[in-house]
Structure formats: structure tokens, C-alpha cells
A and B are shown apart, each in its own frame.
Chain A
């Protein structure tokens, strides 16, 4: 299995190519959804953890409690991938208008695609890291991480953009608000 930073780096690269093909305005719709999703996940994550313990404690005959982290990780991956799929499918969330043309359009599409790739792949990596890489089938583990990969963990979206900046609220909230405002004004 390739190192985790190569694996997620490739995903980000693919998303940047998708951004290049789809154009800036469609990609910005995906950014809005992903930013809001990450904000809500960061808010509800502690409650979800408690809820999972309660549910699994009551149903130990179906799923043992020691598989809680794996189940939680699958749930996060499922939610993030589903949100990404929904926001990429169709045009309902895309910003209206005609995207910029020429080299500017290419650059903006590429950068926004890169940002979306970072948000999607980074969020999945964040939850895998937080739950200590419970999905064994993927072959990642915290012991095998390189120094570079360990250094990148600080910059994963929920760690990096989840820091409280103003009035104790995270940057994710402000960015989500800004994107929603832009969408409404548009």
C-alpha cells in the first residue's frame, strides 16, 4: 500500500482535475456544502461519540463495543463521501452564471477543485487519524506514518480550519457563512 500522504495527495490531485473540467462556479457549490458539512461534523462529533457508545452498549449481541471506532470511522467516511457525491451530482448547488473564461477560468477551477479535494480527502484522513486508523482493510496505521505525514496532520481541514478565531467560533463557521451569503446574493 502506498504511503497515506501519497494516497490522499492523489485524491486531491484528481479533485483538482475534476475542478478544472467542471469550472469554478460548479466547484464553489461543492465547497459550500463541504464547508458546512465539516462545520456540523465538528459540532456534533462529541455527541455522536456518546450516542455510539450508548447504542452499541445496548446492542452488544450484534456489534461488539470494541468495534465502535471502526463503525464510527465508516459512518464519517460514508457521510463525507455521500455529501461529496450529492454536491457533485446535478447542478442544484452550483452558483449561477457563466464561469470565467481563459487562463483565469482554468486557474480558478483548478484552485477550487484543489480546495474541494483538500476538504474531502483531508476530512476523511482527519477522522481516520482521530480514531487511530480503525479500517484495517485500507492498510494504514499510526505506526507506519512518515514524518511528513505526521506533519500534515496538523493541517487537515478540521484541525486547521476548526481553530477558534473570533468569539470562540471556528473558521469553518465563518467560511460557511461567507459562502452561503455569496450563494444567496448570487
Chain B
């Protein structure tokens, strides 16, 4: 048995969820998260493809360290050498990049939550909701193409979702919303020249 999920419904739910998070967290925190998501995208795309060898080496080193407790080092090292590589295919690396991406985002969210003040007024919350929606779009843009490749019980049209997210107009709209949040937050944070305000 399987359910088919409309691609716009899934994108909509993601945006709503992140928008709600943004509303609760406020624009100041969400703006930092946005920068964090941009950095995470960059790091996950640039660094992870070159990490395959290191991941396999560290995995074998770890297994060697565990095995050396019970047997002699040369045997333990030989056993570790015979182990299959942890990261063998491009899909494995993509999964690692997803973990790195989500890890950095989680750190950014937690850092913002603990270090930046909660929103003090409704306008900051509303701006936060818009910024949260953009963050949701960015996360979906990176995560969905990796996650929605395989068949599942709940069948989601991965191709259509990726096409909808990768559409130039959708990205332009997201960019415009990001600029609007930037302007709104900046003007809100600046002191007005008019002393009455």
C-alpha cells in the first residue's frame, strides 16, 4: 500500500513548519540561521566530496582501536584493513553531506536560540516567519533532492518537487523575500531619525 503526496503540499508543509518556527524564534535568530544554512550548503557541497578517503580511514582506525583491546595489534590492523569501505558510492557521500548539512544547521539553530534574544514585538515575529519560510525553502532545496530518490511507503514525486524548487522563478521569489526581510529587519533595528518614532 502506498500514498501519493502532492509536491506542492509537501513544499507548503515544509515552508509552513519553518515559517512557524521563524515566527516563534524571531527575525534576528532566523537571519543568522539563514547565513548558517548558506555556509552549510557551501561546506557540504565543497568539502564532503573530498572526504571519502578520510572517512574510510577514520572508520578503519576506529575499528582497529576497538579490536586492539582483545587481540594483538598486527592481527587487529589486518582485520581492520579487510573491512569494506564505509563510504563506497556517490550516494554514501551524498548521505554524509546531508548529515554535515543538517549538523551545521542544528548548531546554528541552537546557537541562535541560546545567544540571541527572543523577539520583542509582533513585527519581529512576522519578519521571522518570512525569514523562516525562506530557510525552509533553502533546506528543502538541499535536502529533498537527496532524500526523495528512493521509493517509500508514502510516495512523493521527487522529480516534480525538485523541479518546483529548482525553478528559477521560485528561487528569485525566495531571494526577493530574503531581501525584504533584510530591509525590514535592518530598518526595525535602526534608530529612526524622527524622535517622535
Contact = CB atoms under 8 A, between A and B. Distances in A.
Nearest to B189: A100
A128 interface: no
Interface string B140-176: 0000000000000000000000000000110111011
A160 interface: yes
Contacts of A174: 176
Interface residues of A, number: 28
B172 to A, nearest CB: 5
Given A104-B28, A163-B168, A115 B193 contact: no
A97 B191 contact: yes
Contacts of A179: 183
B35 A104 contact: no
A163 B169 contact: yes
B176 A96 contact: no
Nearest to A170: B172
B168 A175 contact: no
A98 interface: yes
Contacts of A112: 182, 186
Of A107, A161, A163, A178, chain B has the most CB atoms within 10 Å of the CB of A107
Contact of A95 (B169, B176, B179, B190): B190
B187 interface: yes
Contact of B182 (A95, A99, A105, A111): A111
A175 B182 CA distance: 12
Contacts of B189: 24, 100, 104-105, 108
Contact of A161 (B28, B31, B172, B192): B172
Contacts of B193: 96-97, 186
A113 B152 CA distance: 45
Contacts of A149: none
Given A97-B192, A98-B190, A100-B190, A108 B169 contact: no
Nearest to A27: B186
Contact of A175 (B32, B179, B186, B194): B179
Given A97-B191, A98-B191, A28 B173 contact: no
Contacts of B183: 28, 178-179, 182
Nearest to A185: B187
B185 interface: yes
A97 B171 CA distance: 32
A4 interface: no
A154 interface: yes
B176 A175 contact: yes
Given A107-B32, A174-B176, A24 B169 contact: no
Interface of A: 24-25, 28, 95-100, 104-105, 107-108, 111-112, 115, 154, 160-161, 163, 165, 171, 174-175, 178-179, 182, 186
Interface of B: 28, 31-32, 35, 168-169, 171-173, 175-176, 179-180, 182-183, 185-187, 189-194
What 8 A-B pairs come out closest when comparing CB atoms?
A96-B193, A100-B189, A98-B191, A97-B193, A24-B186, A97-B190, A108-B186, A97-B191
